Amino acid sequence: MGSPAQDRRDLFTRYDLGVSPFWSEATPQEQDAQRDWHATIAARGNVRFGHQSFVSPLAAVYADNLVIGDHSYLAAHVYVYGDHEIGENCTLNPFSELRGLVRMGDGVRVGAHTSILGFNHRMEPDEPIYRQGLTHKGITIGDDVWIGSHVVIVDGVTIGAHSVIGAGSVVTKDVPAWTVAAGNPARPIRDRRSASSKAPKDLGIRLHRLGEKAREQAAEVLARCWHGDAASGTFLDHPGASRTLRAWCDATELADLLLGSAPPQTAKDRIVDLLRSNQDPETGLVPELSDTGTPGSAAPSMDGHAPVNYHVLAAGYALELLGSRFPHPIRSVADLSAVELRTRLDQLPWGEEGWRAGSWVDSVGTAFHRNQADFGMAGEVETLFGWLLLRCDRATGLWGRPDDRSRWLEPVNGFYRLTRGTFAQFGVPLPYPERTIDSVLAHAVDETYFRADRGTACNVLDVIHPLWLCARQTGHRRAEGERWARAQLDRVLRSWQDGAGFSFALETGHGPERTPGLLGTEMWLSITWLLADQLGLSDSLGYRPRGVHRPEPQAGVPGRRR
């Protein structure tokens, strides 16, 4: 006969890996073995088992005090150590752990590899940590809580009833009841109770149909904007448009989003070579293509050169999607000293041209990311964030104020560009999210820019992204933002043009902005994802942006503990 541990392994069954009806389906021998295992665990401490509770023989249970409620389940490789109460109908999935002091209500689901740590180390400076004792504030988890996989919950936290904690989150503060929270550190995303009223029942179906239609017609949309043969042709934003580098980047993003590949019109290596060869080796900047489609000449700096600024984003992300990168660092940004960067920030036209100021910061932040990710060059990222945090207007949550000419347009649009390349891209919390929401919603009802028949891709993006980003931190005025998102989705879902995609401006008429093309299609599909995600419906689309408009942070601040 083998060891007790070996004997338990010999009894390993499907019941150990997932919630299964053990007590109604297991053989008499398996049920007797489970009762014996209960007795073994009970001999180790003060342990009480509820009716038809199950503990895998491969779980490590060494609790001083433990209550397991009726019909609760501990899977294989669960680790339980300390003083715990587990309510009825709870589940701890494989490799999850309870340590310290934990009180768990009824109906709690704990995902695999999750750590619920109801203790902490002392760390006074006069003793080595290994000689210091532990503290136990304890963790309390209410009824009907779902905790995703790979979550960490630290000591002293209370998670309110009916909450959901997203996978991979680190919970360091209390979570109110009915809250959906996620992130590191975890922050409120939405109130669970609003999920059923967020959108009409058919909205998810309409989003699904748009996603299907876009995928089915993606090749046709790309082919419409391709001019020439596979060896020497070029992408144009729309038939008859001028040659631009952005058209190549938008085509790459659309193909990745909808086809999961490079654009089929030409060789992937040709696109990579075009984007890489267009980078100026001295400045690292990417100029516009010449009239013949060959590389142009780089501007000496990013000041006042909108295509050059945006190409840091567009070309950099397109290369990333193609599995490549810039051949040279972006030295125009890497070589900025802290003093030079602060001076440049001070000189930006925050008062009258918030969008231009924000777009410059977006490009600089993205250049820092590219240099860090591709060349290990940190740059003055902390100087940039320090300036932004100190200069953000506490009253508006923006980096500018409205004026009589365009009202909130410039500061709100500038906020989007600025935060896209900094706070969103590096995963840093916004300083005043509630005030930001107040300002953005004031802009969102301005009929000069938004009506049932009005709202360009840029203007809608510049509202929904801030609302979406702020919702990662606060539920402030959530319902108003959701109503606005539903109205925009209704308009977008009626505006796809078969075989051509979206135009930049959805209203009917003539001119480039009202002609379907690559830019409008790429932007509106990304905007649609953000609008849908604000309503909890983005999964209906069947796609997720991975380029300029990707929702996940791209990088951490160099040297910042994560």
DSSP state for residue 423 in the 8-state scheme:
I
- Which residue in the list 51, 77, 121, 311 is annotated as catalytic? 121
Residue that has been written with the tokens 């008859």 in this structure: 240
d(CA 317, CA 547): 5
Q: At what angle do helices 457-470 and 409-419 cross, to 10 degrees?
A: 60
| Residues in Cβ contact with 223 at an 8 Å cutoff, skipping those fewer than 6 apart | 265
CB atoms within 10 A of CB 165: 27
| Residues in Cβ contact with 96 at an 8 Å cutoff, skipping those fewer than 6 apart | 75, 78, 79, 110, 111, 112, 113, 114, 115, 116
Residue that has been written with the tokens 């308009």 in this structure: 491
Q: Is 499 exposed, middle or buried (0-12, 13-18, 19+ CB in 10 A)?
A: exposed
d(CA 378, CA 368): 7
d(CA 330, CA 279): 9
State which H helix or E strand residue 518 sits in.
Answer: helix 518-534
β-pair partners for 92: 74, 110
* Nearest residue to 276 via CA among 234, 245, 255, 302: 245
The verdict on whether 51 is a catalytic residue reads: no
Is the omega angle on the peptide bond into residue 185 within 30 degrees of 0, that is, cis? yes
Please identify every residue annotated as catalytic: 121
